[in-house]
Structure 1
Amino acid sequence: MDSIQHKELAALHRFWQGLSKDGRLPARHDFLAEDLADWIGHISLLEVERDPLRFRFVLHGGHFTLLSGLSLAGRYLEEGLTPRYRDEVLACYREAVETRQAVYRHYSDHSLPWRELDRVILPLADDGVTVDRVMVGLYTLADPPSQGGSRLLSRRN
């Protein structure tokens, strides 16, 4: 995994690591929603479906909604991805499931409203082994809002 350079995502990763015990992945029931207060709005939770491998949003953080322009709660990940990044993003989610490891990526694209994006994908497993959910943290560095446009909530530290 690339070194996590984003302060909030590094803290989220440490939180996730602290939930892992004896080489087993943390489960959703290992933490309360309140435990994620520092990252509220920047967290999404997705269920992992298999055959075929797909990801369905259970919780779609407000920052994700602002970034994509729509709420994806109850919908599939690919429904919110632009064609330009679809394959790359889906590959990161597949990597988290297949390796059972956190996957971090930093993207820069000055042609989009967000200029920089940091994402960490953290696998969860109710049985400690088989990934059945992923928790995702996402932060962006956005251009100032255009006149009449909405501002993407962001912090980059």
Structure 2
Amino acid sequence: MTTSQAFLDRDLRRCHDLLNMANLFVAQKKFSSARSAIGALRANLELLAEKDAHFFRERLIALDVEHSRRSGHFLSDDKIIDLSLYRRQALDRRLATSSLANLKQAAGGQRRHTPAIAEDDRGNFIYRMPMPVDEVSTSDSLGMENLLQIWRQAQQSTGRRHGLPLLSDIDPKFIADIGMLGFVHVIDASSDDPGKFHVTMHGSRVTPFNGRNFSGRTLHDFPIPIYRESVATDYNTVRMTGVPAYHRVIATVDGSRRHYTRLLLPFSTDGNRPDRLLVGVRTDNWLPE
């Protein structure tokens, strides 16, 4: 499902981080920052083996097109972003200033959760267990708890109990600090048809279908019907409720078995209607292969 951080060398990891940071900036319409990240990525490709460099060049083509479409002009800024400036300690200091009690709000009460199970005649199988959001923990899903805290802080800053944060409220550098770059998707959920939800950014380290990246595609383009339908159902539930959701998933897709946790966080473009989703995905250590 994902590429483990431990098996990436420093240069390759940096390129993944820059690619995902650039995609997040484009999704947030922060085009100057996106140009900086893209310029940094181009500068770092020469440090990679040709096979790895080809992977990023293909994604840069799509990223250039999307950036130009949204911003109305082509890329020219080659300013380099120094990711080493953004340390986990800086984020920890910010989070430490907030009351942990305020961050641990209950989501969904104490009701019993029932798994959803789907399978087809081709051997594909998906088991999804909805979990209380407060059970997100760094021991199971590295970085996910901090991702939830960032969302809750942004939600609290709206000053309204049921207000939703804007996607632009989230600094991609924070996502880099907690090690989630490449494990986060951004979904445009403004359509009433979940099949037409648009994958604005697909995390480059999440590869459910033989390495395919679905940035710029819709959920309808996902190739396995039961996988497509389960994802659409979960995404649409968060869009309809405006409440975060957390799942543990066990799946066999195209003969590949994977297990992971998935955190769905609702965002808005107007502060009220949930029409954007930030999706965090992490391979688990709670279930052995």
Residue type at the aligned position of 2:281: L
The alignment status of 1:94 with 2:236, answered yes or no, reads yes
Q: List gaps (5 residues or longer) in structure 2.
A: 1-107, 109-130
Q: CA 1:9–1:114 in structure 2 vs 1: closer, same or farther (change >3 Å)?
A: farther
Shift of 1:67: 2.4
Structure ranking higher on relative contact order (CA contacts 8 Å, 6+ apart) = 1
Aligned to 2:187: 46
- 2:172 alignment partner, one of 33, 36, 55: 33
The alignment status of 1:106 with 2:248, answered yes or no, reads yes
Residue type at the aligned position of 1:109: A
Once superposed, which parts of structure 1, at least 4 consecutive aligned residues long, lie more than 6 Å away? Answer: none
Aligned to 1:147: none
Shift of 1:110: 6.0
Q: List gaps (5 residues or longer) in structure 1.
A: 142-155
CA contact (8 A) 2:167 2:268 kept: yes
Aligned-pair RMSD on alpha carbons?
Answer: 2.1
Aligned to 1:148: none
- 1:4 alignment partner, one of 136, 141, 160: 136
Shift of 1:70: 1.0
Aligned to 1:149: none
Distance 2:174 2:189 in 1: 22
Q: Structure 1 vs Structure 2: percent identity of aligned residues?
A: 23
The alignment status of 1:129 with 2:272, answered yes or no, reads yes
Moved more, 36-45 or 4-13: 4-13
CA contact (8 A) 1:108 1:116 kept: yes
CA contact (8 A) 2:219 2:228 kept: no
Distance 2:245 2:231 in 1: 11
SS in 1 for 2:261: strand
Q: CA 1:26–1:87 in structure 2 vs 1: closer, same or farther (change >3 Å)?
A: same
Residue type at the aligned position of 1:107: V
Residue type at the aligned position of 1:137: G
Aligned to 2:80: none
TM-score by length of 2: 0.45
Q: CA 1:27–1:114 in structure 2 vs 1: closer, same or farther (change >3 Å)?
A: farther
Q: CA 1:59–1:15 in structure 2 vs 1: closer, same or farther (change >3 Å)?
A: same
Deviation string 1:125-149 (CA, Å, 9 cap, x unpaired) is 12221012100001125xxxxxxxx
Shift of 1:27: 0.5
Counting matched residue pairs gives 142
Structure with greater Cα Rg: 2
Residue type at the aligned position of 1:34: K
Distance 1:74 1:88 in 2: 20
Distance 1:139 1:13 in 2: 13
Moved more, 99-108 or 2-11: 2-11
Shift of 1:81: 5.2
Deviation string 1:78-126 (CA, Å, 9 cap, x unpaired) is 3235223222221110110011011111012367534312111111012
Of Structure 1 and Structure 2, the greater helix share is in 2
Q: CA 1:52–1:115 in structure 2 vs 1: closer, same or farther (change >3 Å)?
A: closer
